[in-house]
């Protein structure tokens, strides 16, 4: 016989928990926690819009790469007077010259990557002036000519092309100096900043016509025969990797522009149009790499907007640094070095 006790609940009297309410409460609490977490400041830095730059030196200006892209040289004055060399592979900095051999910020590394040619300031009677060559470690400085500036290495490092601008003697023009016999050959009656193309078949340079304030961009043969006048106004220029095109900057009514032009002559094509825009569309100091890209100082009117790169069509502009000037692309296109008010900086790309 079954018995029923008063304190024992029957099946009809049991209560079932409300699981839907519990689940809803859990969801509300979790949402609240997520909201509180999202309101807390993040300890992570936002991603940079441009590649990081490493400081090479806290002083100096006008950096230039060696042809192999493993070393760069730059100049300094004041307490750090001289030419300095940075070894990219060893991350080391060496002073090549000092105040005994001042420079004109017109140095170039040889094709063999073992010597530096530079122009020294002063009158011909001073032992600092003229065209000098020195080893990368500062050894064996040789004064090859008592006057001259902006030296450029000839193919195979057999000699130099340099500019004469000596008002005392009235000597002007581009000259070829051969190391083997120290012979000197005049190539032009004026001009400055000679640059061979990599094939050694052409020399580009700037020359101001009589009474002109602007420099023309010209191309000659190694023998000095004029091939073309490519532009009527040129402040800076460089060869591109194909040896048949030059990139140059100039001032226009709309601002500083960068364009390209065939070395054989022809139409000038704008790369950086010089208008005020967003992103800034003006540019100066172009430097080309073998990957078909150009680095330049970006301008918005007269205000510097850092360092940018673009391709030869003016597309795909990329910001490298928010400040800086005098950019120089490594020959292989893997890095850009530039100067700033705080020294020399390099960005690996």
**172 shares its domain with 118:** yes
Range of the domain at 281: 235-349
pTM, rounded to two decimals: 0.84
Position 252 in a domain: yes
Answer yes or no: do 307 and 247 share one domain.
yes
Answer whether residue 205 is part of any domain: no
Do 189 and 266 sit in the same domain of this protein? no
Residue 29: is its pLDDT beyond 70? no
Domain count, the chain: 2
207 in any annotated domain: no
Domain membership of residue 341 (yes or no) is yes
Sheet-wide strand order for 108-109: 108-109, 115-120, 130-135, 142-145
- 243, 344: one domain: yes
Last residue of a domain, one of 196, 221, 255: 196
Say if CB 295 and CB 289 are below 8 A apart. Answer: yes
**3-state secondary structure at position 67:** coil
Q: Which among 174, 82, 198, 86 is positioned nearest to 134, based on CA atoms?
A: 82
Domain boundary among 196, 211, 227: 196
d(CA 147, CA 140): 19
Question: What number of other Cβ atoms are within 10 A of residue 68's Cβ?
Answer: 14
pLDDT in tens, 132-161: 999 999 999 999 999 999 999 999 999 999
Instruction: Concatenate the DSSP letters of all residues of 157-212 into one string.
Output: GSEEEEEEEETTTTEEEEEEEETTT--EEE--SS-EEEEE-TTSS-EEEEEPPTT-
Is residue 250, in this structure, part of any structural domain at all? Answer: yes
Q: Residue 278's pLDDT is what?
A: 63
Q: Say if 221 falls within a structural domain.
A: no
Per-residue pLDDT tens for 91-116?
A: 899 999 999 999 999 999 999 999 99
Looking up residue 118, the CATH number of its domain turns out to be 2.120.10.30
């Amino acid at each position: 016989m079954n018995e029923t006790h008063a304190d024992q609940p029957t099946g009809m009297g049991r209560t079932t928990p409300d699981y839907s309410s519990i689940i809803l409460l859990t969801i509300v609490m979790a949402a609240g926690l997520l909201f509180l977490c999202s309101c807390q400041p993040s300890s992570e830095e936002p991603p940079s819009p441009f590649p990081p730059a490493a400081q090479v030196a806290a002083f100096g200006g006008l950096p230039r790469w060696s042809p192999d892209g493993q070393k760069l040289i730059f100049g300094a004055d004041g307490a750090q007077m001289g030419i300095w060399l940075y070894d990219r592979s060893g991350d080391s900095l060496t002073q090549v010259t000092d105040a005994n051999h001042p420079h004109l910020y017109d140095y170039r590394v040889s094709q063999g990557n073992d010597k530096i040619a530079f122009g020294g300031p002063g009158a011909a009677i001073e032992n600092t002036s003229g065209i000098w060559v020195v080893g990368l470690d500062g050894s064996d400085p040789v004064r090859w000519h008592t006057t001259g500036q902006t030296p450029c290495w000839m193919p195979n490092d057999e000699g130099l092309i340099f500019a004469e601008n000596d008002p005392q003697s009235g000597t002007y023009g581009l000259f070829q100096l051969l190391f083997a016999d120290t012979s000197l050959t005049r190539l032009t009656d004026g001009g400055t900043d000679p640059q061979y193309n990599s094939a050694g078949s052409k020399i580009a340079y700037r020359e101001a016509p009589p009474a002109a304030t602007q420099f023309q961009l010209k191309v000659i043969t190694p023998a000095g025969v004029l091939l073309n006048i490519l532009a009527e106004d040129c402040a800076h220029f460089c060869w591109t990797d194909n040896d048949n095109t030059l990139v140059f900057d100039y001032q226009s009514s709309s601002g500083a522009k960068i364009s390209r032009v065939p070395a054989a002559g022809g139409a000038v094509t704008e790369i950086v149009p010089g208008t005020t825009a967003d992103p800034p569309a003006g540019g100066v100091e172009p430097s080309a790499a073998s990957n078909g890209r150009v680095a330049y100082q970006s301008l918005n009117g007269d205000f510097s907007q850092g360092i940018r790169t673009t391709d030869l069509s003016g597309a795909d502009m990329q910001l490298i640094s928010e400040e800086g000037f005098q950019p120089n692309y490594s020959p292989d296109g893997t890095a850009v070095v530039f100067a700033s008010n705080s020294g020399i900086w390099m960005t690996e790309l």
